[in-house]
Amino acid sequence: MTTAPRTKPHSIRDLQSEIEAEVEPAIDLLRRLIAESSVEGSDAIGRAEQLIADAVRPLGGREAVHSLGGVPNLVVEWGGRTDRP
């Protein structure tokens, strides 16, 4: 997925080009997520979390991993307070 700053498109054609540029990377990420097994006790959740973190990291959000009931949860925040980890 691209990390270039986005500007308001000047035309529908420009918008269509921007969307088309994102389709294949998004489908590739989805394929990689689906390929992870979802068997209880596997490391699939951690690997899927890492795939998503890698995909959104270039966007510059604040990342944190919280565990709920032993299951890791990735939280990425943009804007707001900057004193959070």
pLDDT digits (tens, 9 = 90+) for 52-70: 999 989 888 899 988 888 7
Q: How far is residue 53 from each of residues 9, 12, 14, 29, 46, measured CA to CA in Å?
A: 27, 31, 28, 11, 10
Report the first-to-last Cα separation within the chain, whole angstroms.
24
pLDDT digits (tens, 9 = 90+) for 35-45: 888 777 778 88
Domain-wise residue ranges, the chain: 12-60
The mean per-residue pLDDT over the stretch 15-23 comes to 86
Question: For residue 10, what are its two tokens?
Answer: 């000047």
Helix axes 12-35, 44-56, angle to 10 degrees: 160
